[in-house]
Amino acid sequence: EAIRRARLLLLDGAALDFGPDSGAAMLRCVQTAEAQGVPFVLTLANSEIVARHRTFFETFGPRAQLVAGNLEQVAVLMNLEPAASLDEVRAALARSAIDALVTLDADGVFARMGNEEFLQPTQRIEAVDSTGAGDNFLGAFLVARLKGLSVPRTLAVGNIVAGKVVQYSGARLPVSLNVPELIQAAIQTTGHL
């Protein structure tokens, strides 16, 4: 019922390692989303999970609205060495049917959507801790996409939010940092894109 009412389903690849039935549960989620016409996004979680569950990602990655991960994770998904360069990953994605969002740490983010590529650098920020930056980036990006913003603008929104998150220590953000308000402010800030 929850999937049927959703505008988007986010599936975390880490769930594939939750237990012996986790693969079947993820499969049911994908099948339900597809049957209900709900787009889904797959996160890669980490390179080891991608390698262990390669068949799942190779089967459902091309069917996902988006596959999201860092450069190493996407390199492994594309059957490249984990240390592959962005140029190597870009070329592999261009030969695939996968739309991907590739976080590049302090260098920003790369996205391939259909036949279009986007590279969005970040502003240089004094980072304290990168824990949670990728998750917050993706959340802000998806909120902005659901609001109908362009890809360049959604990438900028994600970068603004991630840039704020890295200024705090640990995975738990202070209560004073209202992430929904931060996302809304980032959307307004990027209005010129």
Closest CA to 97 of 150, 59, 137: 59
User: What single-letter DSSP state applies at residue 121?
Assistant: P
pLDDT tens per residue across span 7-19: 999 999 999 999 9
- How far apart CA 160 and CA 154 sit, in angstroms, is 10
Q: What is the pLDDT of residue 15?
A: 96
68 with 100: CB under 8 angstroms?
yes
Tell me 19's DSSP state: -
Q: Please tell me the predicted confidence (pLDDT) of residue 64.
A: 97
Q: Count of CB atoms within 10 A of residue 2's CB?
A: 8
What pLDDT, on a 0 to 100 scale, did the predictor assign at position 174?
Answer: 79
Beta-bridge mates of residue 70? 103
Write the Ramachandran bin of 182: left for phi over 0, alpha for psi from -120 to 50, otherwise beta: alpha
Please check the confidence at residue 97 and state whether its pLDDT lies above 90.
Answer: yes
Confidence of residue 193 (pLDDT cuts 50, 70, 90): low
Residue 139, beta-bridge partner list: none
Contact indicator for 120, 152 with CB cutoff of 8 Å: yes
Mean pLDDT of 94-107: 94
Q: What is the pLDDT of residues 166-189, one digit of tens each?
A: 888 887 777 888 888 888 888 888
Domains identified in the chain and CATH numbers: 1-121 (3.40.1190.20), 123-193 (no CATH)
Q: Is 68 exposed, middle or buried (0-12, 13-18, 19+ CB in 10 A)?
A: buried
For 59-76, what is each residue's pLDDT tens digit? 999 999 999 999 999 999
pTM above 0.95, yes or no: no
Mean pLDDT score, 136-145 = 94
The pair of structure tokens assigned to 16 is 């594939």
- Answer whether residue 48 shows pLDDT above 80: yes
Which of 46, 41, 17 minimizes the C-alpha distance to 29? 41
Whether the predicted pLDDT of 44 surpasses 90: yes
Q: Which residues contact 102 (CB under 8 A, 6 or more apart)?
A: 69, 70, 71, 74, 86, 89, 109, 110, 111, 112
Residue 130 has pLDDT above 90, yes or no: no
Helix, strand and coil percent figures for the chain, each rounded to 5? 50, 15, 35
Which phi and psi (to 5°) does residue 135 adopt? -65, -45
